[in-house]
Amino acid sequence: MIRVLIADDQALLRGSFRLLIDSEDDLFVVGEAADGQQAVTLTRTESPDVVLMDVRMPEMDGITATKQIAGDARVLILTTFDLDEYVYSALRAGASGFLLKDAPPDDLLKAIRVVASGETLLAPRVTTRLIAEFVRRPVQQVFQQVFQGLDTLTDREREVLTLIAHGLSNAELSDQLQVSPGTVKTHIGRLLAKLQARDRAQLVIAAYEGGLVTPR
């Protein structure tokens, strides 16, 4: 069972998410939080696998809450393109993926499963577009190890990193590079180690901040 915590200040939305999630045999809602502080507290007491996190909430916003719980649970951020200003901060805070609030129910269920499995949800429609928008603005370099790590990458690893930053999935990488899925996972593992990145989301940041990918 995948344990899910729902954090959103709208009770009706929380209830809708709960009904949908609990209808699945492999998903189970362990709690609901109306603000970021409750999300932090419930994460520590209920040990969810995935926290479905809204951004704008009272008491404590979703970004601050994500910073506090990212090491204890995978965080799936609820976002709209109206909240673009928060996305880059959410990645830095440790979010594992993004879901549009108007996404179809099946997409929500798939996103929860993807994030719970350890993958990062980086759909080109959501993440790549939003990150590209934000790297146009000056940002504080918090991943200083990225630049040293980039110097150690092979040409192939740089190619893989660039494709990841463009939003390609493992299956798409396998097709694009004409290598096996196992080889793709090996490349990604080496990138994570060399760049000291926690997950795929931080690899995307590394590609942009290291200059391998620039906004169009």
| DSSP assignment of 151-180 | TT--HHHHHHHHHHHTT--HHHHHHHHT--
Each residue's pLDDT tens digit, 10-50: 999 999 999 999 999 999 999 999 999 999 999 999 999 99
Looking at 70-154, list the stretches that DSSP marks H as alpha helix, in order from N- to C-terminal side.
84-93, 105-116, 129-134, 145-150
Give the rounded percent of residues in the chain with a pLDDT score beyond 70.
Answer: 81
Average pLDDT, the chain: 82
Cα–Cα dist 24/173, whole Å: 30
pLDDT of 142: 43
Whole-structure pTM over 0.75, yes or no?
Answer: no
